[in-house]
């Protein structure tokens, strides 16, 4: 059932209840374990429920469940506000936040669920509730890491935003013939300590690529590599930072060495 609004979700849940159908909920469809589909039951698909509303006075942003990060980041880029998101632009808010959600800036700001302020949730009974620190606090706790599809259908997430005026994005791509050497080195150095907290990175071993972002002063990157070239992401130029294979936060991959 492709839902465009809350009423569609509630009607779908009612149909599933009456017909005795098992329900799976899907937003971005990125569950590699297949938790957002089922056989013989109903899939409630929220990929059409996209939207981002900023409340700058309260440093909050309200986001619909099927909002992919290329849209979420695209709405925040250029505002100077930020919420940690992931490396893939087509992953959606609802599944990501319920699994915690690690992104390029998580070493400074935490995982995405740390920034969740409130959820709007349709329970199996058909009741729509708010879950935050004061109301339904145990549900609020469970939704921040309890993984998706277990506690109801998430209809909206509100986040606390942080200020992030600009970031530096970088990536390194190795040649296929260097694969064995690179993977060995990455494994050996994987847990090295001492990197600045403002630096975050993601590895794509399958693509032999390592990409990252740094916010604040560019000089923190200097120890990371001679000849490192990086791009400043101007907060005032949102188009340069959206889309592309790296999702919204980073500019397109740059060859560095
Ligand atoms: C290419 C790729 C890149 C990724 N990059 C990162 C990354 O950088 N950082 C990171 O932390 N993770 C990353 N992930 C993992 C990703 O965050 C999880 O797979 C996440 O659950 C996907 O959410 P989704 O909404 O896109 O997927 P879905 O498959 O739609 O949902 C995932 C789970 O959440 C449930 N769910 C979805 N929507 C709702 C809803 N509205 N209400 C209740 N339950 C719901 C589903 O039932 C399912 O259990 C990546 C995954 C892929 C495939």
Give tens-digit pLDDT for 127-159.
999 999 999 999 999 999 988 889 999 999 999
Radius of gyration of the chain (CA): 20
Is a pLDDT exceeding 50 seen at residue 241?
no
Q: How far is the CA of 67 from the centre of ligand 1 (A)?
A: 11
- Residue-level pLDDT at 217: 62
Confidence of residue 34 (pLDDT cuts 50, 70, 90): very high
Confidence of residue 216 (pLDDT cuts 50, 70, 90): low
* Cα 182 from Cα 151, distance rounded (Å): 42
Q: Whose CA is nearest to atom 23 of ligand 1?
A: 95
Is a pLDDT exceeding 80 seen at residue 215?
no
**Relative to the CA of 27, which ligand 1 atom is closest?**
30
Q: How far is the CA of 29 from the centre of ligand 1 (A)?
A: 7
Over residues 244-253, the mean pLDDT reads 32
Kindly list the protein residues whose Cβ atom lies closer than 6 A to any atom of ligand 1.
Answer: 24-32, 35-36, 46, 65, 86-88, 91-92, 94-96, 98-99, 101-103, 148-149, 153-154, 202
**Relative to the CA of 25, which ligand 1 atom is closest?**
47
Closest CA to 82 of 56, 64, 57: 56
Over residues 41-51, the mean pLDDT reads 97
Confidence of residue 183 (pLDDT cuts 50, 70, 90): confident
- Residue-level pLDDT at 252: 32
Q: Which of 12-16, 83-87, 94-98, 179-183 has the lowest mean pLDDT?
A: 179-183
- At 149, phi and psi to the nearest 5? 75, 5
* Cα 238 from Cα 254, distance rounded (Å): 18
Closest CA to 105 of 135, 83, 125: 83
- Across 185-198, b (16+ Cβ under 10 Å) vs e yields eeeeeeeeeeebeb
* Residues across the chain: 257
Is a pLDDT exceeding 90 seen at residue 177?
no
Q: Whose CA is nearest to atom 44 of ligand 1?
A: 149
Substitution site in 6, 12, 27, 139 for ligand 1 pocket (most atoms within 8 Å of beta carbon)? 27
Is a pLDDT exceeding 90 seen at residue 116?
yes
Substitution site in 13, 29, 31 for ligand 1 pocket (most atoms within 8 Å of beta carbon)? 31
| Residue 129 region by backbone torsions, left for phi larger than 0, else alpha for psi between -120 and 50, else beta | beta
- First and final CA of the chain: distance in angstroms? 48
Give tens-digit pLDDT for 49-99.
999 999 999 999 999 999 999 999 999 988 999 999 988 899 999 999 999
Q: Which of 65-69, 176-180, 232-236 has the lowest mean pLDDT?
A: 232-236
Residue 173: enclosing H or E segment and its boundaries?
Answer: strand 167-173
Return the DSSP state at 36. Answer: T
Long-range CB contact pairs, 195-203, < 8 A, 24+: 195/107, 195/224, 196/220, 197/107, 197/108, 198/107, 198/108, 199/107, 199/224, 200/103, 200/104, 200/105, 200/106, 200/107, 200/108, 201/104, 202/87, 202/104
Confidence of residue 179 (pLDDT cuts 50, 70, 90): confident
* Cα 113 from Cα 231, distance rounded (Å): 28
Q: How far is the CA of 200 from the centre of ligand 1 (A)?
A: 20
Is a pLDDT exceeding 70 seen at residue 233?
no
The answer to whether 96 and 144 have CB atoms below 8 angstroms apart is: no
Substitution site in 4, 30, 142, 244 for ligand 1 pocket (most atoms within 8 Å of beta carbon)? 30
Handedness of CA 209, 32, 95, 98 (dihedral sign): negative
Q: How far is the CA of 92 from the centre of ligand 1 (A)?
A: 6
Is a pLDDT exceeding 90 seen at residue 38?
yes
HSE toward the beta carbon, residue 93, CA cutoff 13 A = 31
pTM of the shown model: 0.86
- Residue-level pLDDT at 201: 76
- The percent of residues above 90 in pLDDT, for the chain, comes to 58
Substitution site in 95, 99, 144, 201 for ligand 1 pocket (most atoms within 8 Å of beta carbon)? 95
The pair of three-digit structure tokens given for residue 81, joined into one six-digit string: 């506000």
């Amino acid at each position: 059932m492709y839902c465009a609004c809350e009423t569609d979700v509630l009607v779908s849940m009612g149909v599933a209840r009456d017909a005795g159908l098992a329900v799976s909920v899907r937003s971005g469809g990125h569950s590699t374990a297949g938790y957002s589909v089922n056989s013989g039951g109903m899939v409630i698909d929220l990929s059409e429920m996209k939207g981002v509303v900023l409340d700058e006075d309260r440093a909050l942003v309200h986001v619909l469940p099927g909002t992919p990060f290329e849209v979420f980041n695209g709405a925040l880029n250029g505002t100077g506000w930020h919420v940690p998101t992931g490396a893939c632009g087509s992953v959606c808010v609802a599944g990501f936040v319920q699994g915690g959600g690690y992104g390029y800036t998580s070493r400074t700001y935490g995982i995405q669920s740390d920034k969740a302020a409130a959820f709007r949730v349709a329970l199996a009974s058909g009741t729509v509730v708010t879950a935050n620190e004061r109301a339904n606090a145990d549900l609020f706790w469970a939704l921040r890491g309890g993984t998706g599809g277990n506690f109801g259908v998430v209809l909206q997430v509100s986040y606390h935003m942080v200020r992030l005026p600009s970031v530096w994005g970088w990536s390194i791509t190795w040649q296929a013939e260097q694969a064995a050497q690179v993977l060995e080195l990455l494994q050996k150095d994987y847990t090295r300590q001492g990197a600045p907290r403002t630096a975050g990175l993601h590895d794509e071993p399958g693509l032999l690529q390592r990409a990252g972002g740094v916010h604040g002063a560019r000089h923190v990157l200097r120890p990371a590599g001679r000849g490192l070239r990086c791009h400043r992401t101007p907060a005032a130029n949102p188009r340069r930072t959206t889309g592309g294979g790296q999702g919204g936060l980073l500019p397109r991959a740059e060859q560095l060495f």
